[in-house]
């Protein structure tokens, strides 16, 4: 009789839990579908990528940027008023493999027409992997940025975000670098590994402004371990504003060839061919918008100056390097790799790098930065080194394997 009563109570509890989950799923379904309809604009054409992505070719005037309250009546700027002076397009070519050989996987199955932009379609599963619909496509805290000048290592280590960066402080109107592209191994899906440029303004508190661009592997965000080109922005230290790629209103894309969030191919190999991408972000001195260029001349679009407070004027810090999430779920440091997964002292063909590192000064000229400093929370896990030579100008090697004999 006791066994029967226990079984009955167990079944009742199980049914109650199941009913609650079904109720939540039903509620969630409406919110998810509503969010999908906001993100996925009606395409003029759709392209199936070999990696399973759907790339929608959406009319340029219908992109999500114009859902932002301050951009309702915004007139699209189809080209920057000025490029930074001092761009040497010869030095933008890769010394070992020409960067023109790097493509996005979806290119093999089609292209978007002029007047449209390619947008990676968001799927229901993408949103459901996030901690909440509100948090989908967003970083979760200011500790996503390395804080080399005001750092509390205990708080940083608790947050799980770790970095290996080079940085400069001053007054800047842009930044540029060429970085090689890897496919770092991720220990578990709630972790990520990225390599990027940060342009920062404001304090590392509630008012941080940040523009970011690079490549990343993020299973939670994309549902796979592919290496993808990405951007990010925030005007309030990742609290309410900003997002990855085009997953919220803000960044205005004008280019019909490059899809933010799409997979990059091919990838560098250890002791093998090295493939890299060039990224330039600069402030248009006439309009005030922050423009981004990918590779040898792909001007992708811009972040309107109205999105920001501090970055309305200039950036006060530039960072180049890598970031990972160390969840330490098993009580040990993660084995998630940064960059190539190898330490900087291994050098070319083995370690990950930024080369031809430059900043844009007040005269709208590209300059080699002075007084480059470095920062990493745990150099035995991920490290960074800087150098300079005639071929690469200022360069940075960075990265590491995560957990090892000296990193527990």
pLDDT in tens, 380-408: 999 999 999 999 999 999 999 999 999 98
d(CA 277, CA 279): 7
Query: Residue 21 sits in which domain range?
Result: 1-39
**Residue 175: CB partners within 8 Å, gap ≥ 6?**
197, 199, 280, 281, 282, 315, 318, 320, 358, 359, 360
d(CA 39, CA 31): 12
Higher pLDDT, 5 or 296: 296
**Residue 199: CB partners within 8 Å, gap ≥ 6?**
172, 174, 175, 210, 211, 212, 281, 290, 311, 315, 317, 318
Whether residue 348 is contained in a domain is answered as yes
- Tell me the per-residue pLDDT of 239-266, one tens digit each, with 9 for 90 and over: 999 999 999 999 999 999 999 999 999 9
- Tell me the per-residue pLDDT of 160-187, one tens digit each, with 9 for 90 and over: 899 999 999 999 999 999 999 999 999 9
Burial pattern 281-307, b for ≥16 Cβ within 10 A else e, equals bbbbeeebbbbbbbbeeebbbbbbeeb
The reported pLDDT for the residue numbered 160 is 85
Whether residue 70 is contained in a domain is answered as no
Of 243, 189, 226, 167, give the one whose Cα is nearest residue 398: 167
Same domain for 93 and 11: no
Whether residue 49 is contained in a domain is answered as no
Token reading at 179: 């970085």
The one catalytic residue among 212, 257, 345, 346:
212
**302 bridge partner residues:** 252, 291
The reported pLDDT for the residue numbered 44 is 97
Residue 389 DSSP class: E
pLDDT band at 6 (very low <50, low <70, confident <90, very high): very low
Whether residue 126 is contained in a domain is answered as no
Is a pLDDT exceeding 80 seen at residue 10?
A: no
149 phi-psi bin (left φ>0, alpha ψ -120 to 50, beta other): alpha
Q: Which range has the top average pLDDT, 31-40, 146-155, 156-165?
A: 31-40
Helix (H) or strand (E) holding 278: strand 276-283
The reported pLDDT for the residue numbered 156 is 52
Same domain for 171 and 23: no
Whether residue 331 is contained in a domain is answered as yes
Mean pLDDT value of segment 289-315: 94
Same domain for 33 and 83: no
d(CA 186, CA 192): 6
d(CA 96, CA 357): 18
pTM here is 0.89
Residue 234 has a CB neighbour count (10 Å cut-off) of 25
pLDDT band at 90 (very low <50, low <70, confident <90, very high): very low
Quickly count helices (H) and strands (E) in the chain.
Answer: 4, 21
Same domain for 140 and 29: no
Is a pLDDT exceeding 60 seen at residue 12?
A: no
Block residue for tokens 């990950």: 352
Whether residue 53 is contained in a domain is answered as no
Higher pLDDT, 104 or 99: 104
Q: Is 345 a catalytic site residue? A: no
Helix (H, G, I), strand (E, B) or coil at 89: coil
Same domain for 142 and 13: no
Same domain for 95 and 29: no
Block residue for tokens 């990225």: 194
Is a pLDDT exceeding 60 seen at residue 158?
A: no
Is a pLDDT exceeding 90 seen at residue 328?
A: no
Is a pLDDT exceeding 90 seen at residue 9?
A: no
Token reading at 32: 């998810």
Same domain for 149 and 85: yes
Least confident window among 52-61, 144-153, 182-191, 265-274: 144-153
Instruction: Could you list the beta-strand ranges (E) of 346-404.
Output: 352-360, 366-367, 373-376, 383-389, 393-399
Is a pLDDT exceeding 90 seen at residue 71?
A: no
Token reading at 154: 């205990």
Q: Are 186 and 225 in contact (CB under 8 A)?
A: yes
pLDDT band at 204 (very low <50, low <70, confident <90, very high): confident
Whether residue 84 is contained in a domain is answered as yes
**177 bridge partner residues:** 279
Least confident window among 80-89, 110-119, 241-250, 256-265: 80-89
Number of Cα atoms under 13 Å in the Cβ half of residue 251: 29
The percent of residues in the chain predicted with pLDDT above 70, rounded, is: 87
The one catalytic residue among 31, 323, 345, 377:
323
Same domain for 302 and 196: yes
The reported pLDDT for the residue numbered 403 is 97
Same domain for 228 and 175: yes
d(CA 104, CA 399): 24
d(CA 174, CA 158): 32
Same domain for 379 and 240: yes
Same domain for 83 and 25: no
Same domain for 143 and 238: yes
Task: State the Cα torsion 37-294-192-183 to the nearest 10°.
Answer: 120
Whether residue 69 is contained in a domain is answered as no
Count of structural domains within the chain: 2
Q: Are 407 and 157 in contact (CB under 8 A)?
A: no
CATH of the domain at 302: 2.60.120
pLDDT band at 275 (very low <50, low <70, confident <90, very high): very high
Q: Are 266 and 274 in contact (CB under 8 A)?
A: no
Higher pLDDT, 205 or 101: 205
Q: Is 90 a catalytic site residue? A: no
Give me the chain's average pLDDT, please: 88
Q: What is the largest CA-CA distance in the chain?
A: 87
């Amino acid at each position: 009789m006791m066994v029967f009563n226990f079984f009955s109570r167990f079944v009742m509890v199980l049914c109650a839990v199941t009913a609650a989950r079904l109720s939540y799923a039903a509620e969630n379904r409406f919110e998810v579908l509503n969010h999908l309809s906001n993100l996925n604009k009606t395409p003029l054409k759709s392209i199936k990528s070999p990696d399973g992505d759907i790339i929608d070719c959406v009319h340029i005037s219908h992109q999500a940027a114009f859902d932002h309250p301050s951009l309702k009546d915004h007139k699209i700027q189809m080209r920057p008023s000025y490029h930074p002076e001092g761009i040497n397009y010869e030095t933008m070519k890769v010394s070992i493999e020409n960067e023109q050989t790097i493509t996005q996987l979806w290119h093999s199955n089609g292209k978007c027409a002029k007047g449209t932009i390619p947008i990676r379609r968001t799927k229901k599963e993408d949103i459901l992997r996030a901690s909440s619909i509100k948090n989908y496509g967003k970083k979760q805290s200011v500790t996503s940025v390395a804080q080399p000048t005001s750092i509390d290592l205990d708080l940083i280590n608790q947050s799980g975000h770790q970095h290996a960066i080079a940085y400069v402080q001053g007054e800047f109107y842009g930044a540029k670098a060429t970085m090689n592209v890897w496919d770092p191994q991720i220990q578990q899906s709630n972790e990520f590994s990225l390599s990027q440029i940060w342009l920062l303004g404001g304090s590392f508190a509630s008012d941080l402004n940040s523009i970011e661009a690079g490549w990343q592997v993020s299973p939670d965000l994309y549902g796979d371990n592919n290496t993808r080109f990405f951007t990010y922005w925030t005007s309030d230290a990742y609290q309410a504003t900003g997002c990855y790629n085009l997953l919220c209103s803000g960044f205005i894309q004008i280019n019909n060839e490059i899809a933010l969030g799409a997979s990059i191919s091919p990838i560098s190999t250890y002791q093998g061919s090295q493939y890299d991408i060039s990224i330039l972000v600069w402030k248009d001195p006439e309009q005030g918008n922050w423009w981004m260029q990918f590779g040898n001349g792909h001007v992708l679009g811009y972040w309107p100056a109205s999105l920001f407070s501090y970055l309305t004027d200039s950036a006060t810090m530039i960072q180049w390097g890598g970031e990972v999430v160390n969840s330490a779920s098993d009580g040990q440091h993660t084995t998630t790799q940064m960059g190539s997964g190898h330490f900087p002292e291994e050098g070319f063909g083995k370690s990950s790098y930024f080369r031809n590192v430059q900043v844009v000064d007040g005269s709208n000229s590209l300059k080699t930065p002075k007084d480059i400093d470095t920062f990493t929370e745990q150099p035995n896990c991920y490290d960074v080194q800087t150098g300079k030579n005639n071929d690469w100008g200022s360069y940075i090697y960075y990265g590491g394997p995560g957990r090892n004999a000296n990193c527990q």
